[in-house]
Amino acid sequence: MSKSRLIVLISGNGSNLQAIINQIESGDINANIASVISNKADAYGLQRAKKAGIETAIVDHTQYESRELFDHFLAKVIDQTAPDIIILAGFMRILTEGFVMRYAGKLINIHPSLLPLYRGLHTHKRALHDKATQHGASVHFVTPELDSGAVIVQGVISVKNNDTEETLATRVHQIEHIIYPQAVKLLTENHVKLRANRIYINNQRLQQPKQYGLKK
């Protein structure tokens, strides 16, 4: 099977990018990252990419007058490599509907909650406030409505009595580093289609997201 071509979009630390790089380097994911694109020149993830010998590009959103112009230019850069999958990994920009539709079924994101719970920001704080017993992260297809696309994989953690936003964030990150590579592997090894916001893997409807847990 030929290697899948990936593009990863980041804005910051890039620990999820690193987790995916590690799985590719270990041979577990049969893919190449064609390029890592950041909207911020100082994103640490760019250094991670360079260290792994991956091409990088910066598309600085502050240089564009509108979201549409930024997305238009971003799409131009992406299309130079004709990727199979575009991975948002801590990419802190809201994308226009035109951009999202252009890459429908190829564009995935990781969100720090068990979607459909806690779309948007401050997910750990909101989970603690609700005294949720479980929390986690979800890898989902990106659709025009924020954090509402079909979920491929979820990582579930138990919330402890003494958890704070920080301790929860740490464990959610740990589970993210497991599930994002798993989701990418699944997409590269199977025929996966998104139709009417439903996921079909090798023509079988995925009834519910695949779930992973932390060992402790």
- 3-class SS at 171? helix
Q: Which region, judged by CB under 6 A, interacts with ligand GRF, from 72-80, 107-115, 155-163, 204-212?
A: 107-115
Give the DSSP per-residue string, 79-120.
HTS--SEEEESS---PPPHHHHHHTTTTEEEEESS-TTSS-S
Which pair of tokens denotes residue 32? 């190449």
Which of 90, 136, 155, 181 binds ligand GRF (CB under 6 A)? It is 90
Size of the site for ligand GRF (CB under 6 A): 13
Catalytic residue among 111, 124, 140, 177: 111
For residue 149, state whether it binds ligand GRF (rule: CB under 6 A). no
CB of 27 to ligand GRF, least distance (A): 22
For residue 111, state whether it binds ligand GRF (rule: CB under 6 A). yes
For residue 176, state whether it binds ligand GRF (rule: CB under 6 A). yes
For residue 112, state whether it binds ligand GRF (rule: CB under 6 A). yes
Q: Which residue is at the shortest CB distance from ligand GRF?
A: 90
CA angle 189, 194, 199 (to 5 degrees): 75
- Where b means 16+ CB within 10 Å and e means fewer, 160-190 reads eeebeeeebbebbbbbbbbbbbbbbbbbbee
For residue 186, the Cα-to-chain-centroid distance in whole angstroms is: 14
The answer to whether residue 111 is catalytic is yes
**For binding to ligand GRF (CB under 6 A), which residues are involved?**
12-16, 89-90, 110-112, 137, 173, 176
Q: Known catalytic residues?
A: 111
